[in-house]
Protein backbone atom coordinates (compact mmCIF):
# COMPACT_ATOMS: atom_id res chain seq x y z
CA UNK A 1 0.00 0.00 0.00
CA UNK A 2 1.24 3.48 -0.87
CA UNK A 3 0.10 6.42 1.29
CA UNK A 4 0.79 10.06 0.42
CA UNK A 5 0.68 12.32 3.47
CA UNK A 6 0.16 16.04 2.76
CA UNK A 7 1.50 18.50 5.35
CA UNK A 8 2.38 22.16 5.27
CA UNK A 9 2.08 23.78 8.69
CA UNK A 10 4.01 23.21 11.88
CA UNK A 11 1.30 21.40 13.91
CA UNK A 12 0.89 18.96 11.03
CA UNK A 13 4.55 17.98 11.25
CA UNK A 14 4.03 16.99 14.89
CA UNK A 15 0.94 14.94 14.04
CA UNK A 16 2.62 13.30 11.07
CA UNK A 17 5.59 12.31 13.22
CA UNK A 18 3.62 9.84 15.35
CA UNK A 19 1.49 8.44 12.52
CA UNK A 20 4.54 8.03 10.27
CA UNK A 21 6.24 6.09 13.07
CA UNK A 22 3.21 3.79 13.25
CA UNK A 23 3.27 3.30 9.46
CA UNK A 24 6.98 2.51 9.65
CA UNK A 25 6.31 -0.41 11.97
CA UNK A 26 4.10 -2.13 9.35
CA UNK A 27 5.63 -4.23 6.59
CA UNK A 28 4.30 -3.64 3.10
CA UNK A 29 3.31 0.00 3.64
CA UNK A 30 5.12 2.84 1.89
CA UNK A 31 4.39 6.36 3.09
CA UNK A 32 5.62 9.41 1.18
CA UNK A 33 5.40 12.84 2.80
CA UNK A 34 4.52 15.85 0.67
CA UNK A 35 5.41 19.26 2.15
CA UNK A 36 3.41 22.01 0.44
CA UNK A 37 5.71 24.74 1.75
CA UNK A 38 2.94 26.63 3.57
CA UNK A 39 5.28 27.14 6.55
CA UNK A 40 8.58 27.78 4.80
CA UNK A 41 10.60 29.55 7.49
CA UNK A 42 13.39 27.25 8.76
CA UNK A 43 12.36 27.85 12.38
CA UNK A 44 8.77 27.02 11.47
CA UNK A 45 9.47 23.98 9.35
CA UNK A 46 12.91 22.43 8.81
CA UNK A 47 13.79 22.20 12.48
CA UNK A 48 10.78 19.98 13.11
CA UNK A 49 11.88 17.33 10.64
CA UNK A 50 15.40 17.41 12.06
CA UNK A 51 14.70 17.24 15.77
CA UNK A 52 11.66 14.96 15.65
CA UNK A 53 13.41 12.47 13.36
CA UNK A 54 10.60 12.57 10.81
CA UNK A 55 11.56 11.24 7.38
CA UNK A 56 12.38 14.16 5.12
CA UNK A 57 9.55 14.97 2.71
CA UNK A 58 9.79 13.05 -0.53
CA UNK A 59 8.33 16.11 -2.28
CA UNK A 60 8.50 19.82 -1.43
CA UNK A 61 6.16 22.07 -3.40
CA UNK A 62 7.51 25.40 -2.09
CA UNK A 63 4.14 27.20 -2.22
CA UNK A 64 3.80 30.11 0.21
CA UNK A 65 3.60 33.86 0.53
CA UNK A 66 0.33 34.41 -1.38
CA UNK A 67 -3.33 34.83 -0.41
CA UNK A 68 -5.65 31.99 0.59
CA UNK A 69 -7.17 31.49 -2.85
CA UNK A 70 -3.92 31.62 -4.79
CA UNK A 71 -2.15 29.39 -2.29
CA UNK A 72 -4.88 26.75 -2.25
CA UNK A 73 -5.22 26.83 -6.05
CA UNK A 74 -1.49 26.42 -6.67
CA UNK A 75 -1.35 23.57 -4.18
CA UNK A 76 -4.25 21.75 -5.87
CA UNK A 77 -2.58 22.11 -9.26
CA UNK A 78 0.78 20.81 -8.02
CA UNK A 79 -0.73 18.00 -5.96
CA UNK A 80 -2.85 16.79 -8.88
CA UNK A 81 0.28 16.36 -10.99
CA UNK A 82 1.99 14.55 -8.12
CA UNK A 83 -0.95 12.22 -7.41
CA UNK A 84 -1.18 11.27 -11.09
CA UNK A 85 2.52 10.51 -11.07
CA UNK A 86 2.63 8.51 -7.81
CA UNK A 87 -0.82 6.85 -7.91
CA UNK A 88 -1.28 6.51 -4.12
CA UNK A 89 -3.82 4.12 -2.59
CA UNK A 90 -4.62 6.64 0.16
CA UNK A 91 -4.12 10.36 0.72
CA UNK A 92 -3.77 11.39 4.36
CA UNK A 93 -4.42 14.98 5.49
CA UNK A 94 -4.34 16.62 8.90
CA UNK A 95 -6.28 19.41 10.55
CA UNK A 96 -7.64 22.51 8.85
CA UNK A 97 -5.03 24.41 6.84
CA UNK A 98 -4.98 25.38 3.18
CA UNK A 99 -2.68 22.38 2.66
CA UNK A 100 -5.36 20.13 4.17
CA UNK A 101 -8.08 21.35 1.84
CA UNK A 102 -5.82 21.32 -1.22
CA UNK A 103 -4.78 17.74 -0.56
CA UNK A 104 -8.39 16.65 -0.13
CA UNK A 105 -9.70 18.42 -3.24
CA UNK A 106 -6.87 17.22 -5.48
CA UNK A 107 -7.40 13.64 -4.27
CA UNK A 108 -11.20 13.50 -4.53
CA UNK A 109 -11.11 14.80 -8.11
CA UNK A 110 -8.90 11.81 -8.96
CA UNK A 111 -11.06 9.38 -6.97
CA UNK A 112 -8.30 8.65 -4.46
CA UNK A 113 -9.75 7.86 -1.00
CA UNK A 114 -8.91 10.43 1.68
CA UNK A 115 -8.26 10.02 5.39
CA UNK A 116 -8.83 13.15 7.48
CA UNK A 117 -7.16 13.21 10.88
CA UNK A 118 -8.86 15.70 13.25
CA UNK A 119 -12.23 15.40 11.55
CA UNK A 120 -15.45 16.75 13.04
CA UNK A 121 -14.04 19.82 14.77
CA UNK A 122 -16.25 22.88 14.59
CA UNK A 123 -15.91 26.45 15.82
CA UNK A 124 -19.20 27.45 14.10
CA UNK A 125 -17.47 30.61 12.88
CA UNK A 126 -17.47 30.63 9.09
CA UNK A 127 -15.28 33.74 9.02
CA UNK A 128 -12.39 31.51 10.05
CA UNK A 129 -10.55 30.06 7.01
CA UNK A 130 -9.85 26.99 9.14
CA UNK A 131 -13.56 26.33 9.65
CA UNK A 132 -14.19 26.39 5.89
CA UNK A 133 -11.22 24.11 5.29
CA UNK A 134 -12.23 21.49 7.86
CA UNK A 135 -15.89 21.36 6.79
CA UNK A 136 -15.05 20.90 3.11
CA UNK A 137 -12.34 18.35 3.89
CA UNK A 138 -14.72 16.31 6.05
CA UNK A 139 -17.30 16.28 3.27
CA UNK A 140 -15.02 14.65 0.68
CA UNK A 141 -13.09 12.24 2.94
CA UNK A 142 -13.71 8.52 3.31
CA UNK A 143 -12.15 8.02 6.75
CA UNK A 144 -13.05 10.64 9.35
CA UNK A 145 -10.77 10.23 12.36
CA UNK A 146 -12.25 12.21 15.25
CA UNK A 147 -10.06 13.20 18.21
CA UNK A 148 -12.97 13.54 20.67
CA UNK A 149 -16.53 12.41 21.22
CA UNK A 150 -17.60 16.02 20.67
CA UNK A 151 -16.20 15.81 17.13
CA UNK A 152 -18.13 12.57 16.51
CA UNK A 153 -21.30 14.24 17.82
CA UNK A 154 -20.75 17.21 15.48
CA UNK A 155 -20.61 14.90 12.47
CA UNK A 156 -23.68 12.97 13.62
CA UNK A 157 -25.65 16.23 13.92
CA UNK A 158 -24.63 17.12 10.35
CA UNK A 159 -25.91 13.79 9.04
CA UNK A 160 -22.60 11.96 8.65
CA UNK A 161 -21.61 9.45 7.51
CA UNK A 162 -22.66 9.74 3.88
CA UNK A 163 -22.18 7.05 1.22
CA UNK A 164 -19.19 4.87 2.10
CA UNK A 165 -17.73 7.27 4.69
CA UNK A 166 -16.50 5.90 8.01
CA UNK A 167 -16.51 7.91 11.25
CA UNK A 168 -13.99 6.71 13.86
CA UNK A 169 -13.28 7.96 17.39
CA UNK A 170 -9.50 7.63 17.21
CA UNK A 171 -8.30 9.93 19.98
CA UNK A 172 -5.88 12.77 19.38
CA UNK A 173 -2.48 12.17 17.77
CA UNK A 174 -1.21 15.35 19.45
CA UNK A 175 -1.41 13.55 22.79
CA UNK A 176 0.56 10.65 21.32
CA UNK A 177 3.27 13.13 20.33
CA UNK A 178 3.26 14.98 23.65
CA UNK A 179 3.70 11.78 25.66
CA UNK A 180 6.41 10.41 23.36
CA UNK A 181 8.52 13.55 23.05
CA UNK A 182 8.09 14.77 26.64
CA UNK A 183 10.42 11.97 27.74
CA UNK A 184 13.08 13.20 25.31
CA UNK A 185 12.75 16.98 25.64
CA UNK A 186 14.99 17.50 28.73
CA UNK A 187 18.00 16.20 26.82
CA UNK A 188 17.07 18.01 23.59
CA UNK A 189 16.31 21.51 24.87
CA UNK A 190 18.07 24.14 26.97
CA UNK A 191 15.53 26.90 26.36
CA UNK A 192 14.67 27.36 30.05
CA UNK A 193 18.26 27.87 31.17
CA UNK A 194 19.17 29.85 28.04
CA UNK A 195 16.41 32.38 28.69
CA UNK A 196 16.89 32.27 32.47
CA UNK A 197 13.21 31.51 33.02
CA UNK A 198 11.57 30.79 36.35
CA UNK A 199 7.90 31.63 36.81
CA UNK A 200 6.43 32.80 33.49
CA UNK A 201 3.40 32.76 31.19
CA UNK A 202 3.72 31.17 27.75
CA UNK A 203 1.92 33.06 24.98
CA UNK A 204 1.42 32.65 21.23
CA UNK A 205 -0.48 34.91 18.79
CA UNK A 206 -0.90 34.03 15.14
CA UNK A 207 -4.54 33.71 14.02
CA UNK A 208 -5.65 36.09 11.26
CA UNK A 209 -8.72 37.14 13.26
CA UNK A 210 -6.32 38.68 15.81
CA UNK A 211 -3.36 39.74 13.69
CA UNK A 212 -5.31 41.27 10.78
CA UNK A 213 -7.55 43.31 13.09
CA UNK A 214 -5.32 45.99 14.57
CA UNK A 215 -7.83 46.84 17.32
CA UNK A 216 -7.84 43.23 18.50
CA UNK A 217 -4.06 42.98 18.31
CA UNK A 218 -3.64 46.22 20.29
CA UNK A 219 -6.07 45.02 22.97
CA UNK A 220 -4.23 41.70 23.30
CA UNK A 221 -0.85 43.45 23.51
CA UNK A 222 -2.17 45.83 26.18
CA UNK A 223 -3.50 42.97 28.30
CA UNK A 224 -0.28 40.99 27.96
CA UNK A 225 1.67 44.08 28.98
CA UNK A 226 -0.36 44.25 32.22
CA UNK A 227 0.15 40.55 32.91
CA UNK A 228 3.88 40.92 32.16
CA UNK A 229 4.16 43.44 35.02
CA UNK A 230 3.04 40.68 37.40
CA UNK A 231 4.50 37.56 35.81
CA UNK A 232 6.89 37.56 32.84
CA UNK A 233 5.19 36.77 29.53
CA UNK A 234 7.31 34.81 27.03
CA UNK A 235 6.00 34.84 23.47
CA UNK A 236 7.55 32.81 20.62
CA UNK A 237 6.20 35.10 17.94
CA UNK A 238 5.02 33.99 14.52
CA UNK A 239 7.01 35.89 11.82
CA UNK A 240 3.81 37.25 10.32
CA UNK A 241 2.66 38.67 13.66
CA UNK A 242 6.06 40.27 14.26
CA UNK A 243 5.97 41.85 10.79
CA UNK A 244 2.45 43.25 11.26
CA UNK A 245 3.36 44.70 14.66
CA UNK A 246 6.43 46.40 13.19
CA UNK A 247 4.51 47.78 10.20
CA UNK A 248 1.88 49.28 12.51
CA UNK A 249 4.43 50.53 15.07
CA UNK A 250 2.76 48.40 17.74
CA UNK A 251 4.90 47.94 20.83
CA UNK A 252 5.03 44.47 22.35
CA UNK A 253 6.26 45.18 25.89
CA UNK A 254 6.88 41.59 26.95
CA UNK A 255 9.53 38.99 26.11
CA UNK A 256 9.36 38.20 22.39
CA UNK A 257 11.49 35.35 21.05
CA UNK A 258 11.77 33.66 17.67
CA UNK A 259 9.60 30.60 16.93
CA UNK A 260 10.92 27.55 18.73
CA UNK A 261 11.19 23.87 17.90
CA UNK A 262 8.90 21.26 19.38
CA UNK A 263 11.24 20.16 22.17
CA UNK A 264 11.70 23.78 23.26
CA UNK A 265 7.94 24.24 23.21
CA UNK A 266 7.43 21.15 25.38
CA UNK A 267 9.95 22.44 27.92
CA UNK A 268 8.26 25.86 27.91
CA UNK A 269 4.93 24.13 28.53
CA UNK A 270 6.35 22.00 31.33
CA UNK A 271 7.81 24.96 33.18
CA UNK A 272 5.27 27.74 32.57
CA UNK A 273 2.66 28.88 35.05
CA UNK A 274 -0.12 29.24 32.47
CA UNK A 275 -0.74 29.51 28.73
CA UNK A 276 -2.31 32.41 26.81
CA UNK A 277 -2.89 31.61 23.14
CA UNK A 278 -5.08 31.75 20.05
CA UNK A 279 -3.69 28.42 18.84
CA UNK A 280 -5.96 25.40 18.71
CA UNK A 281 -3.08 22.99 19.19
CA UNK A 282 -1.56 24.80 22.16
CA UNK A 283 -4.90 24.76 23.99
CA UNK A 284 -4.69 20.96 24.01
CA UNK A 285 -0.99 20.83 24.79
CA UNK A 286 -1.60 23.03 27.82
CA UNK A 287 -4.06 20.37 28.99
CA UNK A 288 -1.59 17.55 28.29
CA UNK A 289 0.89 19.24 30.65
CA UNK A 290 -1.72 20.28 33.24
CA UNK A 291 -1.47 24.03 32.60
CA UNK A 292 -4.49 26.37 32.76
CA UNK A 293 -5.15 28.15 29.49
CA UNK A 294 -6.64 31.49 28.47
CA UNK A 295 -7.70 31.45 24.83
CA UNK A 296 -7.62 34.69 22.82
CA UNK A 297 -10.59 33.75 20.68
CA UNK A 298 -14.36 34.12 20.83
CA UNK A 299 -14.92 30.38 20.35
CA UNK A 300 -12.98 27.13 20.39
CA UNK A 301 -13.22 23.76 18.70
CA UNK A 302 -12.05 22.14 21.94
CA UNK A 303 -15.21 22.78 23.97
CA UNK A 304 -14.48 19.91 26.34
CA UNK A 305 -11.54 21.91 27.72
CA UNK A 306 -13.86 24.79 28.59
CA UNK A 307 -16.39 22.39 30.12
CA UNK A 308 -13.69 20.89 32.35
CA UNK A 309 -12.46 24.39 33.40
CA UNK A 310 -9.03 23.77 31.89
CA UNK A 311 -9.54 26.57 29.38
CA UNK A 312 -11.41 29.87 29.39
CA UNK A 313 -12.36 32.01 26.39
CA UNK A 314 -11.27 35.63 26.65
CA UNK A 315 -11.58 36.86 23.08
CA UNK A 316 -9.50 39.94 22.30
CA UNK A 317 -10.98 42.21 24.95
CA UNK A 318 -8.37 43.71 27.28
CA UNK A 319 -10.61 43.76 30.34
CA UNK A 320 -11.88 40.23 29.75
CA UNK A 321 -8.32 38.88 29.32
CA UNK A 322 -7.24 40.54 32.57
CA UNK A 323 -10.34 39.26 34.36
CA UNK A 324 -9.55 35.71 33.24
CA UNK A 325 -5.99 36.18 34.44
CA UNK A 326 -7.03 37.51 37.84
CA UNK A 327 -9.41 34.59 38.47
CA UNK A 328 -6.91 31.94 37.38
CA UNK A 329 -6.01 30.90 40.96
CA UNK A 330 -9.68 30.25 41.80
CA UNK A 331 -10.32 27.90 38.90
CA UNK A 332 -10.54 24.16 39.48
CA UNK A 333 -9.42 22.51 36.23
CA UNK A 334 -9.84 18.77 35.81
CA UNK A 335 -6.62 17.53 34.23
CA UNK A 336 -7.23 13.89 35.16
CA UNK A 337 -9.94 13.07 32.62
CA UNK A 338 -9.01 11.14 29.46
CA UNK A 339 -10.45 13.58 26.94
CA UNK A 340 -8.13 12.70 24.06
CA UNK A 341 -7.65 8.94 24.09
CA UNK A 342 -4.60 8.55 26.28
CA UNK A 343 -1.91 8.32 23.58
CA UNK A 344 -2.81 5.46 21.22
CA UNK A 345 -4.49 7.36 18.37
CA UNK A 346 -1.81 6.73 15.73
CA UNK A 347 -2.03 2.96 16.06
CA UNK A 348 -5.83 3.09 15.74
CA UNK A 349 -5.61 5.25 12.61
CA UNK A 350 -3.02 3.07 10.87
CA UNK A 351 -4.83 -0.15 11.81
CA UNK A 352 -8.10 1.20 10.39
CA UNK A 353 -6.49 2.33 7.13
CA UNK A 354 -4.94 -1.09 6.63
CA UNK A 355 -8.11 -3.04 7.42
CA UNK A 356 -10.73 -1.06 5.47
SS3 of residue 130 by DSSP: helix
Within 8 A by CB and 6+ apart from 121, the residues are: 96, 134, 147, 151, 154, 280, 301, 302
Q: Any catalytic annotation for residue 168?
A: no
The dihedral through the CA atoms of 222, 224, 227, 232 has a sign that is negative
Look up residue 118 and give its DSSP letter.
Answer: T
- Nearest Cα neighbor of 52 from 142, 166, 177, 169 is 177
Q: How far apart are CA 254 and CA 126, in angstroms?
A: 32
Given the residues 35, 116, 168, 206, select the one marked as catalytic. 206
Q: How far apart are CA 332 and CA 310, in angstroms?
A: 8
Sheet containing 201-204: which strands, arranged edge to edge? Answer: 255-257, 233-236, 201-204, 274-277, 293-295, 311-313
Longest dimension (CA), the chain: 58
- The residues annotated with a catalytic role in the active site are 206
Amino acid sequence: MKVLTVVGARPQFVKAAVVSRAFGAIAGVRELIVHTGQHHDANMSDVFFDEMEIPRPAFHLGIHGVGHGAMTGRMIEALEVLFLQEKPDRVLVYGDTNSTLAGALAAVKLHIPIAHVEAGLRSFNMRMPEEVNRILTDRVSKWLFCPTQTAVDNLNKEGYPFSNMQVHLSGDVMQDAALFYAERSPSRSNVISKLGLKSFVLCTIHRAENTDDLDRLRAIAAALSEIHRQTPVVCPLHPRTRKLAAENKLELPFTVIDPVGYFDMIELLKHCQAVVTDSGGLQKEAYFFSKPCITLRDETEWTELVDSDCNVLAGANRERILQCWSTLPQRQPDFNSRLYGGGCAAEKIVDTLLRT
